[in-house]
Amino acid sequence: MVRLFAVSVQWHFILQERSRPLNDIQSFDFIIVGSGSSGATLANRLSENPQWKILLLEVGDVAPSLSDIPAMAPLFQKTKLDWGYTAEKENGSCWGCPNQRMNWPRGRGLGGTTLINFMIHVRGNPIDYDKWEALGNPGWAYKDVLPYLKKLEDKEDAEYRHNGGYMTVSDVPFRTEAVQTFVKAAQQAGYPYVDYNGKDQLGVSYVQANIRDGLRCSVEKSYLRPIRDRKNLKILLNSRVTKLLINSSTKQVYGVEFVRNRKYYKITAEKEVILSAGAFNSPQLLMLSGIGPQDHLTELGIPVIKNLPVGRKLYDHITFIGLNFLVNKTIILTAQEYFNASNIFELYNHGRGPLTLLGGVEALMYLKTKVSKEKENYPDMEVIFIGSNVAADKGIAFKDTMSVSPDLYNAYWKPIEDLPFFQVFLMLVHPKSHGYLKLKSKNPFHWPKFYPQYMTDKKNEDVKTFIAAIREVIRIIKMPAFKKYGTTLYRKPLPGCEKHKFNSDAYWECALRTISPTLHHQVATCKMGPAEDKEAVVDHKLRVHGIGNLRVVDTSVIPIPLSAHTNIPAIMLAEKAADIIKKDWEK
């Protein structure tokens, strides 16, 4: 703990020095906007060339040390580490959200969303990447990205894996009796135990985590802190980019405008500007700068430099949180059991104990439901086992991070607050439905407007897949492993769904449309694809179509939803992008 504290203090002083206002140096080779999963990785890899000067711009600040505690992951949403975005109200989903609007958390600080995510390490399925390439993106098949998925990892003694990368991958050193029972029950139900990041994804596994010595391993800690002595990298915190500087005649980007401490700066890039501001802010900056849908920009009075479908497509992973299972024995942890002196001692001195749990997430299972139309062993659902529940903190914080209204919580979860129960979340990995985003105005300080359009596909396939998965989870929980705990499904109807027979398809559809919050894995708002693809914004080398010296490197370019949480694919993107950029400029 003393060593970690010393490193943190040293890094703090270096950042203070690096964050001093710009004086004489007003030009850099590369300007990277955003220090999240992709931006931090790019800053590391591009600054490996000592001849290049790199500027990394981050709108937020350094995270407090408490955010390093894995068990506290949900508590840092809706704080200064979170943009605090909210999706627009929709008729077909989020019926149980406050004002029928869903929280859409995004990280805001050095390290981006890796400061507030649940640290779950998932690569995705090989078929994901082969489909990505088949959309007209050469070089993005699984065989092409696997070396980069390995390169970023530091995981010991595992086949199909890599030891020595920047991103630590660990098993969580604490397990509840509940998760051990779940893993056993899944195997009794016919699912193999797998390394879901290895040869086969379908099956059950304890969750793999981006934690180091029991603490969060953000990209700030993994990719930026180790290179704190590089003189050719300047990091500016509290710096909000407001637009790109573009030569309207040549359509070449030559820099950015940003505001810091209420002062505006214009900084030029000799080679490139790279947007790594994320699935929301990268498209926002493009549109504010005149790159986007012509009709939308014209409506807002923004001069159009390039007509591209920025923000017109947006996929997201939603998760159903309405499967609650009552037991006759306390085999989970309550919030009160988490935070005590002995657990804090265990965490900081030995890197173990219940505080290492990833906000309650303990196991993952990938399954292919009976309604899947895929011929191959390709999952359509991720099952997330929670060794706790939404009511563990008596409704103080967890309900807010899950976008549950107080009235719904009080009616549905409050009656069982003091009873032992665990939850199983379901995440739809390949939704057919998609939404979009657009600007609220041409004011760069206004939030974009988000329209998720969950479960709106014409054939209702998203709902059918969810219901098939719900029934499969109920079957798993009926396995012998859970019988000794008297495990039963909580059968109280959700408010608003009482008119439907409990456990009928109609009931589950109502429940899905009531409490299915985002897992904040939005993609495709700056979709990758060839020029002839009418939905594409960037090409396979991540260059914005029709605009020079500008790339987008973050989850916004991912063209389809992946069988993954998006942090690791975002880092992989940047690892691969760095090699593409080096090859282009080191000739």
Contact 65, 426 (CB under 8 A): no
For residue 140, what are the contacts with CB-CB under 8 A and spacing of at least 6?
A: 129, 132, 133, 528, 540
Does residue 25 carry a pLDDT above 80? no
Query: Other C-beta atoms within 10 Å of 458: how many?
Result: 7
Tokens of 478: 């009926």
Q: Is 241 annotated as a binding residue?
A: yes
- Range 27-88+103-154+215-316+435-449+520-587: architecture per CATH: 3-Layer(bba) Sandwich (3.50)
DSSP conformation class of 527: -
Q: How confident is the model over 460-511, as pLDDT tens digits? A: 999 999 999 999 999 999 999 999 999 999 999 999 999 999 999 999 999 9
Q: Residue 5: which pLDDT band, with cuts at 50, 70 and 90? A: very low
Q: Which of 121, 430, 521, 540 is catalytic?
A: 521
113 is in an annotated binding site: yes
Q: Is the pLDDT of residue 522 over 90?
A: yes
> Any idea which fold 173-206+319-430+455-515 has?
Cholesterol Oxidase; domain 2 (3.30.410)
Per-residue pLDDT of 222-272, as tens digits, reads: 999 999 999 999 999 999 999 999 999 999 999 999 999 999 999 999 999
> What number is the average pLDDT over the span 315-342?
89
Distances (CA, A) of 140 to 63, 167, 180, 376, 574: 33, 21, 37, 20, 13
Tell me if residue 521 is catalytic: yes
- Give the tens place of pLDDT for each residue, 290-322: 999 999 999 999 999 999 999 999 999 999 999
User: Using CA atoms, how far apart are residues 237 and 63, in angstroms rounded to an integer?
Assistant: 11
297-301, 344-348, 364-368, 383-387: least confident range: 344-348
pTM strictly above 0.85: yes
- pLDDT reading at 543 higher than 60: yes
Q: Rounded to an integer, what distance in angstroms lies between the CA atom of residue 413 and that of residue 393? A: 11
Query: Cα(224)–Cα(277) distance, rounded to whole angstroms?
Result: 16
- Give the mean model confidence (pLDDT) for residues 152-157: 82
Q: Which residue spans of the chain are classified as CATH 3.30.410.40?
A: 173-206+319-430+455-515
Band the pLDDT of 160: cuts 50, 70, 90.
confident
Q: How far apart are CA 561 and CA 124, in angstroms?
A: 10
Sign of the four-CA dihedral 17, 21, 22, 28:
positive
Distances in Å between the Cα of 89 and the Cα atoms of 95, 98, 451 are 9, 10, 8
Query: pLDDT confidence of 6, banded at 50, 70, 90?
Result: very low
Residue 269 has φ and ψ, to the nearest 5°, of -120, 125
**For 100-141, what is each residue's pLDDT tens digit?**
999 999 999 999 999 999 999 999 999 999 999 999 999 999
Instruction: For CATH 3.50.50.60, list the domain ranges present in the chain.
Output: 27-88+103-154+215-316+435-449+520-587
pLDDT above 70 as % of the chain: 95
Instruction: Quickly state the pLDDT bin for 21 (edges 50, 70, 90).
Output: low
Query: 338 or 433: whose pLDDT is higher?
Result: 433
Give 447's DSSP letter: P
